[in-house]
Structure 1
């Protein structure tokens, strides 16, 4: 076994060379294409098509029952992410195989997505479908640890906000293109491409195959464009279970030397869980509570992704100018106001107006949370810190789905699940307000 090694405290790390050359246009584009491809899982499978129009439909026991089961599955996946993400990031820091594990985990996501083809429209297949989506979230988040850390290889302190926003925007725009292809190729026509019809749920099962191929194709460029990061010889390799001890020591060290980094991890864990719940249950609410039909959901998805992409792009410039905290606070306030209006209004028009306002603020909150963490991460520990970022984000990821499900059960209607999401967003905002960035964050 490797000997125990005490890493230096985060404050002792030398400042990052802010004069380093930024990533090339090709590297930035290739890195962003991973987000473009990931939209097939986030937008098509999880948010707007597979879960909203198929998995939570009448064939699986009705919207209320299926939504509650999906919420439980997503809660379990959050526990798994909390256990695995930081160790996965730490081990890639030690081994230098960040790109390798990004590729492996992305491939697993694609395989789980493709396996949704076998989810037939019967209630007996509900658990299988929810398990495949939940497992996909686990590996997608772990892949995202390496992807986010890779952002620091192609950015400087002057460009990290814009590059992060560009990546998020690429994801939203990729979602638009994927949704259009799915809608006009499979869902709208009575007979889609290759003669596919809606019989036996084949339309939506084919969507799963399309999404798997989309993920694979657009994850390839980043694996060629950005070089593998060399391992730090001062960071020894340790066994899997020993990694948890090193992780514990890192958390203790952060609490002692850089408490505001730890405070940010906690506060962002809360509000990012609320953001994730918006994506997971937004379209489900549109169909089950606001009278949206299949075509309505897809049109809203396209409009929402356009608005979200514009929000993410603009947030990148505000982030580099005013700092990520200002962007996050503004976005959370906007989310609380628009989400609160939806709680008391009914009908398609209300969802169109305030749902689009929600999408405008979601992108900036996500992008600036990532850049905040990127500015805090000491050089050589990017993977571990982004692993902690994913873990804290998922350590309470059961919270929003659980509150969402409880509110449905308590009040007897799907719409009241909005209360659970709003509570989580408000808690995250209140915890973020006193957070200050450590001095070395400016060096990023």
Structure 2
């Protein structure tokens, strides 16, 4: 495999993050949850129950259940798709296929109205599953387009571009939503337009990477009597048996699962903490979400620069120390103090993209050439498959102490545990174990 460091190809790769981040910000973070809850409520009986597939559930639980189901399906299917992509060398085609499945499903959310919650749930299920699948193939391109010493910078610039793109569309959608009456729109129609716009954004900007990403290795011939699905299962089984030969990779993955679980919990629960404990009004919570998008753009670039100066591993460790400081700072914020909540959001934003971007580039150094999609599918699945641990820890802390402050500061356990395990990782040794060129600075 030839790594080219071609600037045009790298910029095209960045644009997929620009494209799909609209789904994360506009659909998942802000608009779909409350809107689909309203649609589900319209379909509920007098007891507040709806009956998808004949199963009685509370209407407010429908969207969380659909999110959980979509993650479960990713856990089941992504490793097989990754193995098929590596064996067949069609990850570019699979990236395009799943990106457009997700984009068109998202556009279809425009037609969800009234009490048609099943349509909304089904479309989101398809879109979120496709989003996760496409991310596997997108991430697997990183080792092909960036040499080891450029990888931190390229990964960071991809994350930064995503924050900028997702934030820009979110600003436009908030302008539309908050001024719906001025545009002659009902609130519901404005939300549906916002949801559909995320799919259109995703579809339009995916054209750029599809035009410019290269296909490098040759497709392998299928053994007689086999097809890609059966070969994918066999290749995945081989990968699992092979992973024991890469102890440094496994150690890094264990550290990442812990600290990234803490990151995802803070992202998901910070607004709950702000509203329930600090009494931050909804308008300021939305403003904080917007601010985070744009500060995270600079933070991702800054950590790419930091990794070049002090090494990738140390840069991640610095970010984890800041994460610990952030949750401790959150514990001490007085109620109704909007400025300090903004400061907390800014601190989180600075390390948010950087810690994740540098983690991705470090992992890409530790995986064998030709198996990028397989390993990144396990990376994606491992992240999502354990993403319930920190929220559960938060919930238990809240239940037993009755304090959101103790619950939020308890998440430092995940950052500290991840940091301790990360100290045992030798990035250069991991790269050499996987048969790759080690970076100049680990």
* TM interval, short-chain normalised: 0.7 to 0.9
- 2:363 and 2:431 map into 1 onto residues whose CA distance is 14
Query: Which of residues 10, 21, 33 is equivalent to 2:4?
Result: 21
Q: Structure 1 residues 426, 48: CA separation in 2 closer, same or farther (over 3 Å shift)?
A: farther
Q: Is 1:158 paired with 2:140? A: no
Change (3 A) 1:107 1:343: farther
Cα-Cα RMSD: 3.2
Deviations 1:51-83 (A, max 9, x none): 3x645789968xxx9887655544443332222
Match of 1:216 among 193, 203, 207: 203
The aligned residue for residue 287 of structure 2 is 299
Aligned to 1:313: 301
1:364 and 2:354 correspond = yes
Match of 2:103, SS state, is helix
- Answering whether residue 156 of structure 2 is matched by residue 179 of structure 1, we say no
Deviation of 1:328 after TM superposition, in Å, equals 1.5
Instruction: Map 1:9-48 onto structure 2 (within 5 A).
Output: 20-24=3-7, 26-48=8-30
Point out where structure 2 has 5 or more consecutive residues left out of the alignment. Answer: 42-47, 49-57
3-state SS in 2 of match to 1:158: helix
Superposed CA offset, 1:23-49 (max 9, x none): 13x322221111111121112222244
Counterpart position of 2:376? 386
TM-score (norm 2): 0.82
The 1:396–1:108 alpha-carbon spacing in structure 2 relative to 1, beyond 3 Å, is same
Size of the alignment, in residue pairs?
Answer: 415
Q: Distance in 2 between matches of 1:221 and 1:88?
A: 23
The equivalent of 1:249 in structure 2 is: 238
Contact 2:275 2:281 in 1 (8 A): yes
What's the CA shift for 1:293? 4.1
Match of 2:344 in 1: 354
- Identify which of 238, 263, 267 aligns with 2:255: 267
Superposed displacement of residue 285, structure 1? 4.2
The match for 1:4 is none
- Scaled by the length of structure 1, the TM-score of the pair is 0.82
Mapped to 2, the partners of 1:318 and 1:32 lie a distance apart of 20
- Higher RCO structure (Cα 8 Å, ≥6 apart): 1
2:190 paired residue number: 203
Task: Return the match for 2:218 from 223, 231, 248.
Answer: 231
Query: Match for residue 9 of structure 1?
Result: none
* Corresponding residue number in structure 1 for 2:134: 143
Distance of 2:437 and 2:37 partners within structure 1: 46
